[in-house]
Structure 1
Amino acid sequence: MTMSWTLAVARDDLSRTALSELAVPECGAGEALLRVDRVGVTANNVTYAVLGESFHYWDFFPAEPGWGHVPLWGFAEVVASAVDGVEVGARVYGYLPPAGHLVVRPDRVDPRGFRDASQHRAGLPSPYNSYVLTAADPAYEPDLEDLQVLYRPLFFTSYMLADQLADNGFHGADVLALSSASSKTAYGAAFLLKGTGPQVVGLTSPGNVAFAESLGCYDRVLTYDALHELDATAPTAYLDLAGNAEVRGRLQRYLGEWLVREEIIGVTHQDRTGAKELNGPRTAVFFAPNQLRKRVEDWGREELDRRFAEAWLSFVPSVRGWVDVRAQQGPEALRDVWLEVASGRSEPRVGNIVTF
């Protein structure tokens, strides 16, 4: 193969895309070349794009001014390497660009994988710079690659969110209300939170109520128009995975002082104001790597990995019945899937996988 490709989106209009063909990058000294093989596209990737500036997601895979390469989770194959311990033919899991290839500068290489020490990624959160070798990953199973691509990065956020809430006594809340209840991150968190004490309520659009209820993760599911059915005198924490400022405003007005905490987790509605207008000490943007760092200090990395693996393996049997994997092939298919997911037209049961 002599050609590669990239898919860029306009930073100010995520529906505007540019699919380009280019030469396969060369692998220099101290570098390895990955061929992108399989990626997933979810609402989480839309969040990366919406928060690309403020959270530096655009910085992972630089593009031309005004454009961005949306980070994707997936699998890649090492096709060239000038680094000891990174062998051609090895398969890795990690953060990938919407492109045919990625040049990395492996550092901290060990049997489990490596980190990309490329200069432009030096100041970015370390969890996104890690590449795991599948041959040494105890949680890896070839027939579960699609589920890993679609859910594992989201479930990591779900796990850290649930852990942060428990770690802080649920901020005194008796009710945990999650918006975008049909999204994978939301129901992963609900799966972990149900039965821990507070009532877990899912908020969603009318068309997704039946799906959210079918998951069995929520004690109760309400539409956004039925916020008044929440107990107005129960201490409530709002976990905002939709980023819809209008819904937030109505909830703030309805609950008043009984809204004891707001956590902004995702922005699937592409309403940037939902993430930027942080009014008051009870409102915060949740960033999973922050809780990760705390738990590494509290428990050590090995114990954190053990606890996460235990939670992940308990989640996988349930999630098999919650998703219909839709696999497509090629850069054009990736563009079509991106436009569908970014516009909110993707069905909640559908898990979009693209191979190359």
Structure 2
Amino acid sequence: MDVHVVSKLDNRQHATIQVSAPTDPLKPSSVRVRTALIGLTSNNLTYAMGGAFLGWWDAYPLPEGCEAPYDNQTWGIVPAWGFATVLETAIPMISAGTTIYGLWPTSSCPVDLELVPTVPGGNWQEVSPHRQKLASFYNRYTVVNIKGQSLEDMAWDAVVYPTWGAGYILSEYVFSPDPSTRPGIHPLGAAGGNWSPADADLSKAIFISLAASTKTARGAAYNLFRRPAGSGPLAMMEITSSPGPLEEAAKNMAPVFPTKSLHYEDIPHCAEWLSSIHPSPERIIIADFGGRDGALDTLVKTYQEATELHSAKVTVIAVGNQQKIYTIPEIMAMQASHASIKVQMNTSGVQEAALKIREPKAYFDELHERWNEWLESREVAAPDLRLVWGNAIAGANGVEGGWDALCQGKVKPEEALVYRVE
């Protein structure tokens, strides 16, 4: 059985090791599953970078019997979203052969989950003691019926849906289309404190998407484009290394507000377009989905120097990170950068808060309905996005090769890496 392990000290160091399948009897309320189909994105680099602090390393501890030098806690397993198959079960409501969606090890070795039912029906919560540090968003598992579902649709669910969903949450819950009837939620969730109706209101704001070709940013754009007239934003600018396909997507979807796609090198000139569209916006929202080094600094400086935009309140929403391995000094500098105007987003925190103000079934039904609409119109909404298939864990065509590409920043904006685990 293959297990992909990553150094916690230097995430660029990784390997595939051989382990034996577990033979212990299942504990009560547990299932034994095997990863079947997973996706890799820049988020997986974030899981490694923040794994010690936010518990991602705890999701799947190293199995017993790892070979040296991988037999100590300086190595770990980075989880990935997708599907797994139930091999054995001690839960009457879940039978062997069932497919479950959730967060899985990058491994072909079976693992055990301890599950309790949660709402809505078909959803389960992982409650193993070693996973208690992990946010609830990453401990939720869903039994799915794959009958009639194509492998391609399942691949999109594995590699795009989790991050696309974060963009949906940003548009629909942080910046509520109607804050008077559905209060906006602080980007950190309940931990962030007050998020006033004015904070949640985009109707008088310009929205700027930095690293707009990322999957989370595409999810945000798709949902912002669908907002009703009057709910904002006044205009939207997408900054990316590949503006052409985003321009095409905006043209296809025809939002009620003006849009513009720019290359990073054009950031110093972006204020000219925005001031011509709306000379005195009350707010400028910059959603940083993982912009290139220095891009956020250049963008903020550009608006500070634009006299016609001086009256606008600038808010930076830190959503994602660049596709790279960060050094400790870079992490510290990133956290300190623009701290006075920056708000960190935590998708799990927002979803937890949303489930307290919405009936869970209604919340997930609306999310899944919107996602299925995106799937059906994918060639319109994301004309360049394509699946890049890999197989297994080891080797250049497996998870190993995908991790190398992510670490080196070689995964192109239009590529969605998905792996069938053998």
TM-score w.r.t. structure 2 length?
Answer: 0.76
Structure 1 position 323, deviation (Å): 2.6
Query: Which of residues 191, 194, 216 in structure 1 aligns to 2:222?
Result: 191
Structure 1 position 186, deviation (Å): 0.6
The aligned counterpart of 2:127 is 117
Change (3 A) 1:229 1:173: farther
Contact 2:210 2:238 in 1 (8 A): yes
Query: Which of residues 13, 21, 24 in structure 2 aligns to 1:24?
Result: 21
- Note if 1:324 corresponds to 2:386: yes
Give the distance between the partners of 2:333 and 2:265, measured in 1 at CA.
Answer: 18
Query: Which of residues 71, 80, 92 in structure 2 aligns to 1:72?
Result: 80
Query: Which of residues 266, 269, 284 in structure 2 aligns to 1:226?
Result: 266
The structure richer in strand per residue is 1
1:177-217 CA deviation, whole Å, 9 max, x = no partner?
Answer: 11111111111101111264221211112xx2223323327
RMSD: 2.5
1:267-278 equivalences in 2 (<5 Å):
267-270=321-324, 271=326, 272-273=331-332, 275-277=334-336
The aligned counterpart of 1:153 is 162
Change (3 A) 1:286 1:317: same
Residue segments in structure 2 that go unaligned for 5+ positions in a row:
63-71, 177-183, 185-198, 305-309
Paired AA for residue 248 in structure 1: L
1:277-317 CA deviation, whole Å, 9 max, x = no partner?
Answer: 25444311101122212221222212211221221122112
SS of the residue corresponding to residue 230 of structure 1 reads helix
1:188-267 equivalences in 2 (<5 Å):
188-194=219-225, 196=227, 197-198=232-233, 199-205=235-241, 208-216=242-250, 219-231=259-271, 234=281, 235-242=283-290, 244=292, 246-256=294-304, 258=312, 260-267=314-321
Structure 1 position 12, deviation (Å): 3.5
Paired AA for residue 85 in structure 1: M
Give the distance between the partners of 2:414 and 2:323, measured in 1 at CA.
Answer: 18
- Note if 1:127 corresponds to 2:137: yes
Quote the sequence identity (%): 19
Between structure 1 and structure 2, the one with the greater Rg is: 2
Structure 1 position 25, deviation (Å): 1.8
Paired AA for residue 404 in structure 2: L
1:44-78 CA deviation, whole Å, 9 max, x = no partner?
Answer: 22232233334332222234422232220111111
Between 65-74 and 176-185, the greater mean CA deviation after superposition? 65-74
Contact 1:172 1:260 in 2 (8 A): no
**Number of paired residues?**
349
Give the distance between the partners of 2:372 and 2:203, measured in 1 at CA.
Answer: 29
Structure 1 position 154, deviation (Å): 1.2
Change (3 A) 1:259 1:20: farther
Residue segments in structure 1 that go unaligned for 5+ positions in a row:
none
TM-score w.r.t. structure 1 length?
Answer: 0.89
